[in-house]
Chains A and B, each alone.
Chain A
């Protein structure tokens, strides 16, 4: 396993500890919950990465690690998996667009009936998001077509 994995793990751990200190220090109490979340998200994955580095670099595990990496490489480059990933992304995109469009309509109705406050900014946000996703899809699609 590459040494960069250990360094990345250590960086995660260090940033996590930094956020933990910020949370304990109580600089801004309203942000404590957020700092604790960042601390957890840094410390535990960091420790896991460092443990994995030492575990897979043991002489008895090196061969198994090489096989694991090889299998991962095959799985990620497998042509059928690549096609399926593309199809999954395509279906997900259609679902996201439908969910956003339905949400906009529902929010408009609820807003008009004065059943929810702040409907307008929400509708505006979702509309921009919907448009952005659609435009981004077209841009990426055209770029891929030309490449």
Chain B
């Protein structure tokens, strides 16, 4: 699943560490999400969505029927 987390974070001039602290996860998790190596849980996805103030479907771009 693709996402716009890195773009949105950089748009707000936040480092991975600052962003990770704000959403209460480790910096490695933020890095893994941004690189598409890890898909966050629904709860974390909503936390990220709330943080950026954008709908979840505009941050996490899921292609239906596509591979995971």
Contact = CB atoms under 8 A, between A and B. Distances in A.
A79 to B, nearest CB: 5
B24 interface: yes
A81 interface: yes
A74 B24 contact: yes
B21 A80 contact: no
B26 interface: yes
Interface stretch (B1-9, B37-45, B51-59): B37-45
B49 interface: no
Contacts of B29: 78-81
B61 interface: no
Interface residues of B, number: 13
Interface in B20-37: 20-21, 24-26, 28-29, 32
A77 B28 CA distance: 13
B24 A80 contact: no
Interface string A70-94: 0000110111110000000000000
Contacts of B44: 79
B15 to A, nearest CB: 15
Contacts of B28: 80
A84 to B, nearest CB: 10
A118 B43 CA distance: 56
A146 to B, nearest CB: 21
Contacts of A81: 26, 29
A44 B44 CA distance: 41
Contacts of A80: 25-26, 28-29, 32, 38
Nearest to B41: A79
Interface of A: 74-75, 77-81
